[in-house]
Amino acid sequence: MPELPELEVLKEILDSQIKDKVILNFVVLKPYVLKNFFQGDLAGHTVRHIQRQGKYLILELDFLCLIIHLMLRGSLKFLLPGAKIKRSAAAVLEFTDHSRLEFSEIGHKKRMSMYILPNQVTLKQIERLGSDPFDNDFTVSKLSNILNLKARQLKSLLRDQTKICGLGNAYTDEILWLARLSPFKISTKLSDDEIKKLYSAIRNVLEGAIAIIREKGISEKRTFLQIHNKKGKLCPRCEEPIQYVSFSNSDTYYCPKCQTSDRKLKDRRLSKFYR
């Protein structure tokens, strides 16, 4: 699933490709993708601004906005005039210069979502989003408040979009590895020093990923990741083999030496007592 770094770069790319373009038409080819009832017309609207909120991309038009959540396998592609539309395309936004933006989703899950709403209306899901790691008010003390709200396992808290938004399975593994913290450490039990390390790790991992993605382009493979999806490979820091454990329907990767005092974690559905 695309997370904050991919979406931030996608926002920048869209900004250079479609900002200030005027919409000729918007065609929904797979009706499931549009999640709200919309009877109007986007024709004539100019793309005024593109923003990212958590994992949502928002195209602000004249008085409407088009909100997009790519979920696991959704994608956007800018097409020059005359380029062919994929059979799997779910929706197409065409501009007056006949360039197009194609929205598609791989697989059959049909989870990508789009909404068309008046500018001043926000989605409930967006209203509920927690702090964005790139917000000016996302400071060490803000992070400390979030961690201390309630005792939660770190990985699960970092992925909770209502607390911190934009992080998912891959980057939380990277962040916790960089901060040398166990994915299952309890959020209220971090020392001040650990909170500072976690804060810097969040910023460093995201900023590093954005820089690489800007240079190399958006790819699902994310070959630059240090430990996520690297089970059995050696930890780049201590050369211990990376381990993984199944957790809340996702795979968590970690280095036992760097993060869990040499303990191998058990499946969390079975064991509650590791930290």
Coil/strand/helix, residue 201: helix
Among 152, 257, 266, 275, binds Zn ion (CB under 5 A): 257
CB of 201 to Zn ion, least distance (A): 14
Binding segment toward Zn ion, per CB under 5 A, in 1-9, 27-35, 132-140, 247-255: 247-255
CB of 177 to Zn ion, least distance (A): 7
Q: Collect all residues with Cβ–Cβ distance below 8 Å to 166 and sequence separation of at least 6.
A: 3, 4, 7, 52, 54, 55, 132, 133, 206
Q: How far is the CB of 232 from Zn ion (least distance, A)?
A: 13
For residues 41 and 5, give the distance between their C-alpha atoms in angstroms, rounded to a whole number: 32
- CA pair distance 77, 73, nearest whole angstrom: 13
Within a 13 Å sphere around the CA of 222, how many CA atoms are in the beta-carbon half?
21
- Minimum CB separation of residue 103 from Zn ion in Å reads 40
Complex with Zn ion: residue 161 or 200, whichever CB lies closer: 200
Return the number of the residue (78 or 274) whose C-beta is nearest Zn ion. Answer: 274
The SS3 call for residue 194 is: helix
- 76's tokens: 């956007």
Does 258 bind Zn ion (CB under 5 A)? Our answer is yes
d(C-alpha 156, C-alpha 184), whole Å = 8
- Residue closer to Zn ion (CB basis): 194 or 240: 240
Binding footprint of Zn ion, residue count (CB under 5 A): 7
Asked if 59 and 66 touch (Cβ cutoff 8 Å), the reply is yes
CB of 261 to Zn ion, least distance (A): 12
CB nearer to Zn ion: pick between 257 and 275: 257
Interface characters, 199-238, with Zn ion (x: CB under 5 A): ------------------------------------x-xx
The smaller minimum CB distance to Zn ion, of residues 104 and 243, is found at: 243
Cβ atoms < 10 Å from Cβ of 17: 17
Q: Minimum Å distance from CB 144 to Zn ion?
A: 26
Residues of the chain by 3-state class (helix, strand, coil), percent to 5:
30, 25, 45
Q: By C-alpha distance, which of 55, 99, 59, 50 is closest to 74?
A: 55
List the beta bridge partners of residue 116.
Answer: 66
Segment interacting with Zn ion, rule: CB under 5 A, options 29-37, 108-116, 225-233, 256-264? 256-264
Judged by CB under 5 A, the residue of 129, 225, 255, 265 near Zn ion is 255
Contact 133, 116 (CB under 8 A): no
- Nearest distance from C-beta of residue 262 to Zn ion, angstroms: 10
Q: Which stretch binds Zn ion (CB under 5 A): 13-21, 141-149, 218-226, 250-258?
A: 250-258
- The answer to whether 129 and 53 are in contact (CB under 8 A) is yes
Q: Distance between CA 19 and CA 47 in Å, rounded?
A: 5
- Of 3-11, 18-26, 156-164, 249-257, the segment contacting Zn ion by CB under 5 A is 249-257
Tell me which residues touch Zn ion (CB under 5 A).
Answer: 235, 237-238, 240, 255, 257-258
